[in-house]
């Protein structure tokens, strides 16, 4: 198949879409990606990509075409500018695209507006479109303070309805997303199906931990929705208990959270290491006793299933969590750790104390087994290819 992929983010940004595209190429398909210049999460264009550098490049067999963008920074106006810059630039690029593709694949993160370019190609050339939904619109706007029922919310509800209904097939990364699409847009039945994310094989690293201190690690974006404050206040209550918390990653909340840890809470058991290359993350996992995930107490986040949990499970490590909904249920089903409600500091403290006395090896084995039974990369790619082929 000749596949046109639409996604606002792509390598070297930290999203799995590049791994999916490379896997499609390995299976013998031709893949062209229309994306923007990398700037996530801090909103600064990466070194080596400023100006017109690497506007068109081939990355591991994938043809990557980058269009104009406005850096993704904090603030509603700047964020909206970022959303529309890609949507308009990608649609303009698509309007001049002469190559014939068999199918369009939209890897839909936030915002849903990124799908517009894919719909433009679909409608102009009479092709089918598969949308992989990893973020719910318009309700994701509520995470940024937009109220349900407001003019902005209602406007993007109409935009989202048009986009989701314009897709020929929708795959969702969380089972709870199916109920959302049914209730919000009347999308159900054969048009929508569940396809959970996977973890890249790079995370399957085994290494003997050497330190005596109980090491708990968080890796990923450090923003407002991750509720890192919950971990910091739990760390405050666990001072003197030979437990260390380590954070790898960056994001819009890194500076303020570092200030809270160092200057307000005076935490000597918390270390922010900043962003590290993906290739180094598995070793940090392997050196840890447990991996931690927290989310804000929000209905949208309760329906989501963070991709980091698959990487945690692939590493065969116990999971400590303060989350609701889909993520909490899967951790409990897997019997791979301890979980409390989102933003529950005291509950998280108790989870950590229970974990310190638990059979850590058994929890890690349960995590790895659940991953192998439910989140294998080969199963993901095979189902994706099958759904794409049906549309051709």
Would you list the DSSP string of 331-359? Answer: HHHHT-EEEE-TT-HHHHHHHHHHHHTS-
* Region 212-237 average pLDDT: 93
**The token pair that represents 273 in the structure block:** 């290491």
Helices (H), 43-194: 76-95, 116-125, 151-166, 175-185
Residue 4, token pair as written in the block: 């046109």
For residue 103, list its beta bridge partners.
3, 128
Contacts (Cβ under 8 Å, ≥6 apart) of 251:
41, 42, 221, 222, 223, 226
Task: Give Cβ neighbours of residue 217 (< 8 Å, ≥ 6 apart).
Answer: 245, 246, 247, 248, 284, 285, 287, 288, 290, 291, 292
Diameter of the chain by CA atoms? 65
Domains of the chain (ranges plus CATH)? 2-198+376-391 (3.40.50.2000), 201-374 (3.40.50.2000)
The per-residue pLDDT for 146 is 87
Q: Which residue has the tokens 């109409």?
A: 158
CB atoms within 10 A of CB 333: 11
Lowest mean pLDDT among 61-65, 233-237, 299-303: 299-303
Query: Residue 211: is its pLDDT beyond 70?
Result: no
At residue 41, does pLDDT exceed 80?
no
Query: Which pLDDT band, with edges at 50, 70 and 90, does 51 fall under?
Result: confident
Residue 210 confidence (pLDDT) above 60:
no
Rounded mean pLDDT of 154-166? Answer: 96
Helix/strand/coil for 169: strand
Average pLDDT of span 2-29: 96
Position 203 scores a pLDDT of 63
Q: What is the mean predicted confidence (pLDDT) over 148-162?
A: 94
State mean pLDDT over 78-91.
89
Q: Is the pLDDT of residue 270 over 90?
A: yes
Tokens (6 digits) for 60: 């591991």
Give dist(CA 300, CA 259) in Å, integer. Answer: 28
Q: Is pLDDT above 70 for 209?
A: no
User: What pLDDT score was predicted for residue 50?
Assistant: 80
Would you say the C-alpha torsion 361, 366, 372, 376 has a positive or negative sign? negative
Residue 105: pLDDT band (50, 70, 90) is: very high
Looking at residue 371, its pLDDT comes to: 95
Average the pLDDT over 285-305 and give the result: 93
Q: Which tokens sit at 374?
A: 């439910």
Name the average pLDDT for the chain: 92
Sheet containing 243-248: give its strands across. 270-274, 243-248, 214-219, 290-294, 319-322, 337-340
pLDDT band with cut points at 50, 70 and 90 for residue 74: low
């Amino acid at each position: 198949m000749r596949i046109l992929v639409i996604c606002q983010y792509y390598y070297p940004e930290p999203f799995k879409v590049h791994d999916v595209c490379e896997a499609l190429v390995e299976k013998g398909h031709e893949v062209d990606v229309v994306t923007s210049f990398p700037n996530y999460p801090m909103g600064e264009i990466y070194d080596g990509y400023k100006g017109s550098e690497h506007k068109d490049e081939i990355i591991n067999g994938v043809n990557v075409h980058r269009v104009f963008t406005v850096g993704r920074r904090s603030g509603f106006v700047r964020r909206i500018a970022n959303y529309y810059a890609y949507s308009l630039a990608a649609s303009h690029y698509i309007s001049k695209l002469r190559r014939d593709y068999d199918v369009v694949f939209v890897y839909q993160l936030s915002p849903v507006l990124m799908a517009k370019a894919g719909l433009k190609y679909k409608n102009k050339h009479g092709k089918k479109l598969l949308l992989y939904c990893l973020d719910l619109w318009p309700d994701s706007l509520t995470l940024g303070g937009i109220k349900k029922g407001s003019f902005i919310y209602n406007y993007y509800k109409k935009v989202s309805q048009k986009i989701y209904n314009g897709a020929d097939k929708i795959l969702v990364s969380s089972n709870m997303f199916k109920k959302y699409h049914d209730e919000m847009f009347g999308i159900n039945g054969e048009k929508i199906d569940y396809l959970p994310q996977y973890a890249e094989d790079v995370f399957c690293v085994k290494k003997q931990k050497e330190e005596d201190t109980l090491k708990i690690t968080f890796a990923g974006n450090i923003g407002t929705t991750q509720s890192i404050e919950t971990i910091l206040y739990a760390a405050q209550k666990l001072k003197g208990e030979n437990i260390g918390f380590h954070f790898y990653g960056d994001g819009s909340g890194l500076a303020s959270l570092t200030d809270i840890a160092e200057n307000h809470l005076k935490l000597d058991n918390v270390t922010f290491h900043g962003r590290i290359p993906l290739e180094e993350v598995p070793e940090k996992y392997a050196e840890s006793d447990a991996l931690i995930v927290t989310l804000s107490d929000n209905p949208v986040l309760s329906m989501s299933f963070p991709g980091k949990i698959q990487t945690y499970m692939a590493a065969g490590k116990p999971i400590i969590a303060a989350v609701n909904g889909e993520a909490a249920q899967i951790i409990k089903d897997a019997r791979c750790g301890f979980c409390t409600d989102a933003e529950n500091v005291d509950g998280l403290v108790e989870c950590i104390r229970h974990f310190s006395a638990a059979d850590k090896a058994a929890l890690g084995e349960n995590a790895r087994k659940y991953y192998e039974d439910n989140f294998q990369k080969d199963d993901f790619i095979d189902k994706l290819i099958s759904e794409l082929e049906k549309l051709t």
